[in-house]
Amino acid sequence: PSPSSQLLKDGEKTIPFLRQLTEMLLENRELISFVPGSKGTNQSVPGKIIIHDRNRVQSEVLPTYFNHASFASLRRQLSYF
């Protein structure tokens, strides 16, 4: 099983985009990573996705997990969540 499937409880379903995003981040940490945000009493800091090698992410990673190789499409999908 993939690393992300181990995070789920038995029988739990995920939204396909979120499952693909999680797998992409876990399996390509040298190219793209996630930095969690934090919630304070007076302030929230959102999490960030950091692209370490945009060319490789666009040409190799995005097409593997999604039906596109476009950062604009990924950004649009992320904005829903």
Place of tokens 């960030």: 48
pTM of the model: 0.74
DSSP, res 80? T
| pLDDT per residue as tens, the chain (81 positions) | 444 444 555 556 678 999 999 999 999 999 999 999 999 888 899 899 999 999 999 999 999 999 999 989 999 998 887
Whole-number Å distance between alpha carbons of 64 and 67? 8
